[in-house]
Chain A
C-alpha cells in the first residue's frame, strides 16, 4: 500500500473541507443577487447535510465488515438505521421544527417548563454524544493503521484535534455545505470502487456463490427472533434521540420543509447502505479470509488493492480513505458542535468563549476513552448508542410531542429509568457475557424491554403527578399547527 497516496488523500479532504467551511458563505456583492444570498437552504442540501452527519465511521467501514462477517444478519442494521428516519418523519420532524427549539434540552425545557428536566436531558445528551464519538475515533485509528502503517493513536488524535480545533476556532462557519460535501464524498468513495469491482469480477462467472454469501443457517430460519426484534426496535427509536439530528432541522425554514428534508434523507442513506452492503457481499465472494473480527472492519480499505492491482487499485484505496475520513469528520464534528452547544448553554449561558472551551472538552473526553480502550465491532458500538438513546430520550421526546398529560416529573422519571436500565443491562452484558444463561440475550439487546419500561414509567408518573406544566396548551398548539401559507406578494419584486 502506498502511504503517500493515503496521506495525500487525507490532506486533500482536510483542505477542501476547510475551504468550503471558510468560503462556503453565500456572498453577494451586487444588490441583484441579494435574493439568492437570502434564500433559505433547499431541502436537498439540508438532507445532504443531515445524511453527511448521520453516516458515521460505524456504517462507512463497519457495515461492509459486518456483512462480510455475518452475512444477511448484518442487513438488519441498515434497515433499522434507515427506518429510524421513517419514525422521525412521521412523529418528530415537523413538530420539532415548529417548536423553535434548537437542541433537545431546549425542547424539553420549553415543553415541560422545568429546569431540572432540562439539566437531566443535557446530561444524557452529553453521555450519548460522547459514546457516539468514541467509535468514530476508533475507526480513524483503525483506518490509518491499516492503510499507512501509522500507529493507531495517531488517527484518533488527528481527528479529535482537527474537529475540536475547527469547531473552537469557528472554522465550520457554513456547516451545512461542509456536511453536504462530506456526504457526497462518502457516497462517491464507495460507489466508484463498487462499480470497478463489478466490472472486474463480472468476467468470471459465477461471481457470487449463494451458499457462501447467504448460508442457510444465516438466513431467516437462523434468526433469533428476540435479538433481531429488540435490535430493530432500538435502531428505529434511537434516531429520534440522537443529539445532532434535531440541530440540523433548525436550518429548514418550516415544518413541512423539514418533512420533505427527511424524505430525501431516507432516500439518500438507503442508497448509501445499498452501496456499502454490496462491498460486503463482494468481499464475501472474493476475500473470505478477511472475515475475522477486528480485521473485517477494514475490508472496504483492503478490497480495492486486492481486486484491482496496480496504480488503479491504489487510487481507489486513496478514494476510500478520503471517504472514511469524511465519515469520521462529518459525524464527530456534528456531534461536537451540538454537544458544545448544550454544554455552553447549560453551564455558561452560551457565551462565545464558553462555546470554544466546550468544543475542546467535548472532543477531549471521548478521545481519552478511545485511547484507553481497544476497538471492536464498529457497528455494534454504534448500535449500543442507539439503544441507549432510544431508552433514555426517545420516549420522552415522542410523548412530549404527542401526549398532552406529560409532566416534568414523569419525563424525569422516564429518562432516569430508561438510562439506568439500559446502562445496567449493557454493563451486565459485558461483565457476564454468555454466562448469564437465558438472560444473556436480554442483557445484550435490552431495547425490547428498556424502551417500553421508560415509556410506561413516564406515562405512569405523569398520570399520578398533579403538577401539570402551565404552557402545555400553547406549546402543543404551536407544535401541531401548520405554518400559515406564505402571503404572496410579501416577497414580490424579486
Chain B
C-alpha cells in the first residue's frame, strides 16, 4: 500500500540525516585530535570555562540563583574537598561533603561579623581545615565562600579570596541586569500613549458647536468621546487586538469629522484574518491622528485617509496612508530623531514603543514627499505568546 513516493522521500531524508551525522562525527574526531596547547594554556581554558559556567548561576544573586550548580563549578575551580556558599541568613549550598554544613556556617558567621577572611584549623578527619572569604557586592558583605581542605595552604587562601571577589562582581553584574530590565519596563510604561491635549480641546469645541444646532449629533459625539477616553484611559494591559483598536479609531474619526465635516474621509481595507492580531495598545490611533494633524489639517480641502491591514504570512502589516500635504523626508527624519521636539509626538511614541517590544527591525516605515501625502507602515508579528491582551498587569 505504500507508494514509491514514500520510499524515495523517506529514504532520502534518512540518508541525508545519516550522512550529516557521520560528517559531524568525523569532523569532531579530527578537531579533537588537534593540538590543544601547552599545560598552562589548557589550565587557563579550564579555569575560564568553569568560571563562565558558575557565572550564569551566580547572576541571580545568593538568594535565588541555582547555587548548587555554581558551587559544583567553584569546587572544581579551587580543587578543594568541599565548598559552601552562604548568604547572610545561612548556608545556601554545599558541595562535596554535606555533613560540613554546621562548620561552614561557623566560619561564615565570623566572616560576616568581621568582614575579613577567616581560617579554621582542622580538629579531626571529619572536620578538615577551612578558609572563608567574604563576597562583597556594592560595598557590603552579601555572602561567604567557604572552602575545605585537609590542610590550608597559602595558594588555596589566595584563590578562595579571589573567587569570592569574582563572585561579588558577578552578583553586581546580575543586579545591574535586573535594574536594566526594570528601567526598560518603566520606560515602556512612561511611553504609553496619551491623549493629546489638542485633541481634547478641539473635540469639546466641535461638540459645543453642535449643541444648539443639532443636539442629536452632539449627543452622539459626546458618547463617542466617552468611548474614546474610556479606551485610552483603561489601566489594564499593554496590548490589545487590532479589532479593538479599530473601534477606538472609529470614535476618534467621528470626533474629527465633527470638525472637518465632509473634508475628511476615511477608508478601511481590512483582511479579516488580521483582526485578531495582538498589537500594542493605542498604536494605530496615533498614526491616524498624525495623518489628520500633519497631513490634512494644513490644507483647505482636507483629504482621504486609508487604513489598511493585510496578512503577510508571519506578520500583519498595518498601513495608514493620507493624501495630504506630506513633507520633505529629510525634514521628517530630523524631527523624528531630534531629542526634544514636541511635534509628531504620536508617531515617535508609537515608533519607540514598537522598537522596544519587537526589536529595531520592526520600526515604523514612513514614505512621504511634499504634495505626495504620507504613508506609515508597521509590521507586527502574529505570534506573541507572552503578550496578554485582556489580563491586568498591575494588581
| Min C-beta distance of A376 to chain B, whole Å | 5
| Min C-beta distance of B121 to chain A, whole Å | 38
Tell whether, in the assembled complex, residue B361 and residue A349 are in contact, meaning their CB atoms are under 8 Å apart. Answer: yes
The stretch from B10-18, B73-81, B179-187 touching chain A is B10-18
Known A127-B13, A350-B313: A429·B2 in contact at CB below 8 Å: yes
Chain B residues positioned under 8 Å from A491 (CB to CB): 247
Please tell me which one of the listed residues B1, B361, B385, B391 contacts residue A377 in the complex, with CB atoms under 8 A apart.
B1
- A–B pairs, 17, beta carbons within 8 Å: A25-B271, A26-B271, A28-B268, A31-B253, A99-B385, A101-B383, A103-B383, A131-B6, A176-B273, A349-B361, A369-B5, A372-B8, A380-B3, A381-B6, A427-B6, A474-B386, A493-B224
Tell whether, in the assembled complex, residue B311 and residue A175 are in contact, meaning their CB atoms are under 8 Å apart. Answer: yes
Chain B residues positioned under 8 Å from A431 (CB to CB): 7
Tell whether, in the assembled complex, residue A100 and residue B314 are in contact, meaning their CB atoms are under 8 Å apart. Answer: no
Q: Of all chain B residues, which has the CB nearest A422?
A: B10
Asked if A480 lies at the interface with its beta carbon under 8 angstroms from chain B, I say no
Chain A residues positioned under 8 Å from B275 (CB to CB): 38-41, 251, 253
Tell whether, in the assembled complex, residue A426 and residue B6 are in contact, meaning their CB atoms are under 8 Å apart. Answer: yes
Tell whether, in the assembled complex, residue A41 and residue B273 are in contact, meaning their CB atoms are under 8 Å apart. Answer: yes
Asked if B195 lies at the interface with its beta carbon under 8 angstroms from chain A, I say no
Report how far A37 CA is from B253 CA in the complex, Å. 15
Known A29-B265, A444-B2: A38·B250 in contact at CB below 8 Å: yes
Asked if A260 lies at the interface with its beta carbon under 8 angstroms from chain B, I say no
Report how far A349 CA is from B361 CA in the complex, Å. 9
Q: How large is the interface on A (under 10, 10 to 19, 20 to 34, 35 or more residues)?
A: 35 or more
Known A41-B273, A173-B310: A427·B10 in contact at CB below 8 Å: yes
Please tell me which one of the listed residues A138, A344, A377 contacts residue B313 in the complex, with CB atoms under 8 A apart.
A344
Q: How large is the interface on B (under 10, 10 to 19, 20 to 34, 35 or more residues)?
A: 35 or more
Asked if A107 lies at the interface with its beta carbon under 8 angstroms from chain B, I say yes
Interface string of B32-56 (1 = CB under 8 A from A): 0000000000000000000000000
Chain A residues positioned under 8 Å from B243 (CB to CB): 38-40, 253
Interface residues of A in 177-192 (CB under 8 A from B): 177
Interface residues of A in 392-449 (CB under 8 A from B): 423-424, 426-427, 429-431, 433, 444
Tell whether, in the assembled complex, residue A341 and residue B270 are in contact, meaning their CB atoms are under 8 Å apart. Answer: no
Asked if B384 lies at the interface with its beta carbon under 8 angstroms from chain A, I say yes
Chain A residues positioned under 8 Å from B251 (CB to CB): 493
Asked if B127 lies at the interface with its beta carbon under 8 angstroms from chain A, I say no
Known A27-B269, A174-B272, A444-B2: A100·B9 in contact at CB below 8 Å: no
Tell whether, in the assembled complex, residue A26 and residue B2 are in contact, meaning their CB atoms are under 8 Å apart. Answer: no
Chain B residues positioned under 8 Å from A433 (CB to CB): 2
Known A101-B385, A493-B224: A341·B272 in contact at CB below 8 Å: no
The interface centre, meaning the residue of A131, A135, A173, A175 with most chain B CB atoms within 10 A of its CB, is: A173
Q: Of all chain A residues, which has the CB nearest B236?
A: A484
Tell whether, in the assembled complex, residue A350 and residue B315 are in contact, meaning their CB atoms are under 8 Å apart. Answer: yes
Known A444-B1, A492-B227: A373·B8 in contact at CB below 8 Å: yes
Chain B residues positioned under 8 Å from A100 (CB to CB): 278, 383-387
Chain A residues positioned under 8 Å from B391 (CB to CB): 484
Tell whether, in the assembled complex, residue A134 and residue B247 are in contact, meaning their CB atoms are under 8 Å apart. Answer: no
Tell whether, in the assembled complex, residue A40 and residue B276 are in contact, meaning their CB atoms are under 8 Å apart. Answer: yes
Report how far A349 CA is from B362 CA in the complex, Å. 11
Please tell me which one of the listed residues B7, B8, B268, B273 contacts residue A27 in the complex, with CB atoms under 8 A apart.
B268
Q: Of all chain A residues, which has the CB nearest B308?
A: A25
| Min C-beta distance of A411 to chain B, whole Å | 16
Asked if A226 lies at the interface with its beta carbon under 8 angstroms from chain B, I say no
Chain A residues positioned under 8 Å from B230 (CB to CB): 489-490
Asked if B246 lies at the interface with its beta carbon under 8 angstroms from chain A, I say yes
The interface centre, meaning the residue of B6, B270, B271, B390 with most chain A CB atoms within 10 A of its CB, is: B6
Tell whether, in the assembled complex, residue B384 and residue A381 are in contact, meaning their CB atoms are under 8 Å apart. Answer: no
Interface residues of A in 120-141 (CB under 8 A from B): 127, 130-131, 134-135, 138
Q: Of all chain B residues, which has the CB nearest A484?
A: B390
Tell whether, in the assembled complex, residue A478 and residue B11 are in contact, meaning their CB atoms are under 8 Å apart. Answer: no
Chain B residues positioned under 8 Å from A375 (CB to CB): 3, 5
Interface string of A316-359 (1 = CB under 8 A from B): 00000000000000000000010011001100011110010000
Chain B residues positioned under 8 Å from A170 (CB to CB): 310, 312
Report how far A39 CA is from B390 CA in the complex, Å. 17
Q: Of all chain A residues, which has the CB nearest B315?
A: A350
| Min C-beta distance of A440 to chain B, whole Å | 10
Binding site for B on A (CB under 8 A): 24-29, 31, 34-35, 37-41, 45, 99-103, 106-107, 110, 127, 130-131, 134-135, 138, 170, 172-177, 250-253, 337, 340-341, 344-345, 349-352, 355, 369-370, 372-377, 380-381, 384, 423-424, 426-427, 429-431, 433, 444, 471, 474-475, 478, 483-484, 489-493
Report how far A436 CA is from B131 CA in the complex, Å. 69
Q: Of all chain B residues, which has the CB nearest A491?
A: B247
Report how far A157 CA is from B13 CA in the complex, Å. 23
Chain A residues positioned under 8 Å from B384 (CB to CB): 100
Chain A residues positioned under 8 Å from B382 (CB to CB): 102, 250
Tell whether, in the assembled complex, residue B313 and residue A493 are in contact, meaning their CB atoms are under 8 Å apart. Answer: no
Chain B residues positioned under 8 Å from A492 (CB to CB): 223, 227
Tell whether, in the assembled complex, residue B250 and residue A426 are in contact, meaning their CB atoms are under 8 Å apart. Answer: no
Tell whether, in the assembled complex, residue B314 and residue A355 are in contact, meaning their CB atoms are under 8 Å apart. Answer: yes
Chain A residues positioned under 8 Å from B6 (CB to CB): 131, 381, 384, 426-427, 430
Tell whether, in the assembled complex, residue B276 and residue A253 are in contact, meaning their CB atoms are under 8 Å apart. Answer: yes
Known A37-B270, A381-B5: A493·B241 in contact at CB below 8 Å: no
Asked if B115 lies at the interface with its beta carbon under 8 angstroms from chain A, I say no
Asked if B175 lies at the interface with its beta carbon under 8 angstroms from chain A, I say no
Known A31-B257, A170-B312, A426-B10: A38·B5 in contact at CB below 8 Å: no
| Min C-beta distance of B310 to chain A, whole Å | 5
The interface centre, meaning the residue of B243, B253, B276 with most chain A CB atoms within 10 A of its CB, is: B276
Asked if B388 lies at the interface with its beta carbon under 8 angstroms from chain A, I say yes
Report how far A370 CA is from B268 CA in the complex, Å. 42
Tell whether, in the assembled complex, residue B3 and residue A345 are in contact, meaning their CB atoms are under 8 Å apart. Answer: no
Asked if B254 lies at the interface with its beta carbon under 8 angstroms from chain A, I say yes
| Min C-beta distance of B73 to chain A, whole Å | 16
Please tell me which one of the listed residues B4, B8, B246 contacts residue A38 in the complex, with CB atoms under 8 A apart.
B246
Tell whether, in the assembled complex, residue B313 and residue A426 are in contact, meaning their CB atoms are under 8 Å apart. Answer: no
| Min C-beta distance of B68 to chain A, whole Å | 11
Report how far A291 CA is from B269 CA in the complex, Å. 51
Report how far A433 CA is from B249 CA in the complex, Å. 64
Tell whether, in the assembled complex, residue B383 and residue A106 are in contact, meaning their CB atoms are under 8 Å apart. Answer: yes
Chain A residues positioned under 8 Å from B278 (CB to CB): 100
Tell whether, in the assembled complex, residue A483 and residue B390 are in contact, meaning their CB atoms are under 8 Å apart. Answer: yes
Q: Of all chain B residues, which has the CB nearest A105?
A: B383
Interface residues of B in 356-395 (CB under 8 A from A): 361, 379, 381-388, 390-391
Please tell me which one of the listed residues B246, B266, B311 contacts residue A173 in the complex, with CB atoms under 8 A apart.
B311
Report how far A176 CA is from B274 CA in the complex, Å. 10
Asked if B231 lies at the interface with its beta carbon under 8 angstroms from chain A, I say yes
Tell whether, in the assembled complex, residue A34 and residue B246 are in contact, meaning their CB atoms are under 8 Å apart. Answer: yes
Please tell me which one of the listed residues A101, A173, A355 contacts residue B271 in the complex, with CB atoms under 8 A apart.
A173
Tell whether, in the assembled complex, residue B250 and residue A251 are in contact, meaning their CB atoms are under 8 Å apart. Answer: no
Tell whether, in the assembled complex, residue A174 and residue B4 are in contact, meaning their CB atoms are under 8 Å apart. Answer: no
Tell whether, in the assembled complex, residue A381 and residue B246 are in contact, meaning their CB atoms are under 8 Å apart. Answer: no
Please tell me which one of the listed residues A337, A355, A369 contacts residue B8 in the complex, with CB atoms under 8 A apart.
A369
Report how far A429 CA is from B6 CA in the complex, Å. 10
Chain B residues positioned under 8 Å from A344 (CB to CB): 313-314
Tell whether, in the assembled complex, residue A423 and residue B13 are in contact, meaning their CB atoms are under 8 Å apart. Answer: yes
Interface string of B239-267 (1 = CB under 8 A from A): 00111101101110110010000000111
| Min C-beta distance of B326 to chain A, whole Å | 23
Q: Of all chain A residues, which has the CB nearest B7?
A: A430
| Min C-beta distance of A271 to chain B, whole Å | 24
Please tell me which one of the listed residues A26, A103, A340, A372 contacts residue B268 in the complex, with CB atoms under 8 A apart.
A26
| Min C-beta distance of B80 to chain A, whole Å | 25
Chain B residues positioned under 8 Å from A110 (CB to CB): 383, 385-386
Chain A residues positioned under 8 Å from B10 (CB to CB): 423, 426-427
Q: Of all chain B residues, which has the CB nearest A130?
A: B9
Given A250-B276, A492-B223, 17 more A-B residue pairs with CB atoms under 8 Å apart are A26-B269, A29-B265, A31-B253, A38-B268, A100-B386, A100-B387, A103-B314, A134-B9, A174-B311, A175-B273, A372-B8, A373-B4, A381-B5, A384-B6, A426-B2, A427-B7, A492-B227
